[in-house]
Structure 1
Amino acid sequence: MRMTFRCDPRLADHLVRPYPARTALPDWLRAMPTKAHSDIHGRDIRTVKQCPPFVDAMAYGIMIPLPCDIRIEAGGFSWDWDIPEPETAGHPRAPLSFHPAAQFAAAPFANGRSALKFNSFWTIELEPGWSLFATHPVNRDDLPFRLVSGLVDADRFHDGGINFPAVWIKPDFSGVLAKGTPIAQCFAVPRQAPELVFEPFDEAHQQAYAKVVADVLAAPNVYRKHFRAKRGRLTS
């Protein structure tokens, strides 16, 4: 799978490039202890830092970064981003724009609020048959916004930017959303629909199920040691 990112030639030296999600694990996860005391169990138990599916989901795909610092004060958004005028007609220069509340009428996540739009400074092209799934950075409830998920057929739509709408969920937030902050986590997904097959366990699957459950309960790290696939490195 190849993901090709392109940008306006005048902005090439001014943009933060999208980066592998595995390089952007948050500080709170890195600082989390691997074990913590549970009053219910009466002993130390493993935290989600030792849960491969939790961490692998956060580390999967690529992150789209915020191109510059955004200052938020009293509900207002401002920035000081000195970049050249793009050479390409119709290309944005501001990092943010907005969607009126009417565009999200009755959507429960909007709650009647207008939405931000993180403007795109990169086009994204995928190989034939693949689409780009963009969603809020996984397990990142620490961010003061919630991205609205979307699916784009980026094997066909790749000559225009993909913008990323989001709802600002912390109205009392004051400070700076830093340049490079992940605003969207993106995965390439096959567009072909899966074939769904439903079967009851046969004897072999019953035995396999019982063995896996017993192994998981008997020792830690069974999934990590015996089932977790090795992740390939992203290349550029």
Structure 2
Amino acid sequence: MSNREEDTVKRCPPFVDAMTSGFLLPLVCDLKVENGAMTWDNDLPAGGALEFPRSPIGFHDESQVVGSPLFTPDRLLIKFVNLWTIEAPAGYSLFFTHPVNRFDLPFTTLTGMVDCDLFHDSWVHFPAHWHDTNFNGVLPRGTPVAQCFPVKRENWVAQTAAMTPDETARAQELSNKMAREPGLYRRQFRS
């Protein structure tokens, strides 16, 4: 145990960078949950000729997750409805996942990747596992339901190897330097 005052995660660049990278997609209206029933008041204008979901959530049948840890008999997966189409630059996909480090949310958004440079004329919706079956209350409009990270599509091959004596010495030197100089990563390595 060190006598030195430790920083909180709020001063940890990798933690902060993960939470602020990409962009968030929000819940489009308040979602009230009471004894497992979900209700909302979503005042969307009429869509004209375009058929558009008016609900902020949809559902996936339990049969879609049979044999997975997400399966619970007689329980549906929810799907957050996204109101925006998303176009990525050529050669980029979007990695959609649960909002980073948001353990307080009563659901977990499932992770997926969509080639949004090619698929951008329709909507990407976000399936989620509602894990807090005791939750009663309101998820307010604007609650993040998915975090999106651009990923450049390119082929590469991962390689692993034992560290050389020189690499081991450099790793030890850097580890010692980081212990002596708080904020070294932020000053010297963060881009």
Structure 1-normalised TM-score?
0.75
1:195 corresponds, among 138, 157, 168, to: 157
Counterpart for residue 57 of structure 2: 96
CA distance in 2, matches of 1:148, 1:97: 14
Counterpart for residue 26 of structure 2: 65
CA distance in 1, matches of 2:84, 2:129: 21
SS at match of 1:125: coil
SS at match of 2:113: strand
Counterpart for residue 131 of structure 1: 93
CA contact (8 A) 1:86 1:93 kept: no
The reply to whether residue 143 of structure 1 matches residue 135 of structure 2 is no
RMSD over aligned CA atoms reads 1.8
Counterpart for residue 68 of structure 2: 107
Counterpart for residue 180 of structure 1: 142
Query: Measured at CA, do residues 88 and 181 of structure 1 come closer, stay the same or move farther in structure 2, by a change above 3 Å?
Result: farther
Query: 1:202 offset after TM fit, Å?
Result: 4.3
The reply to whether residue 56 of structure 1 matches residue 55 of structure 2 is no
The reply to whether residue 161 of structure 1 matches residue 123 of structure 2 is yes
Counterpart for residue 32 of structure 1: none
Equivalent residue letter for 2:137 = G
Equivalent residue letter for 2:93 = S
SS at match of 2:86: strand
CA distance in 2, matches of 1:88, 1:119: 19
SS at match of 1:210: helix
Query: CA-to-partner distance for each residue in 1:175-233, whole Å, 9 max, x for gaps?
Result: 1110011000001101213232344444543442232111012121111111111xxxx
Counterpart for residue 33 of structure 1: none
CA contact (8 A) 1:58 1:139 kept: yes
CA contact (8 A) 1:130 1:189 kept: yes
Q: Which runs of 5+ in 2 are unaligned?
A: none
Counterpart for residue 8 of structure 1: none
CA distance in 1, matches of 2:133, 2:160: 46
Equivalent residue letter for 1:167 = H
Query: Measured at CA, do residues 50 and 195 of structure 1 come closer, stay the same or move farther in structure 2, by a change above 3 Å?
Result: same
Q: Which runs of 5+ in 1 are unaligned?
A: 1-39, 230-236
Equivalent residue letter for 1:101 = E
Length, aligned pairs only: 190
Counterpart for residue 48 of structure 2: 87
1:21-32 matched pairs, under 5 angstroms = none
CA distance in 2, matches of 1:88, 1:127: 29
CA contact (8 A) 1:62 1:187 kept: yes
CA distance in 2, matches of 1:104, 1:62: 28
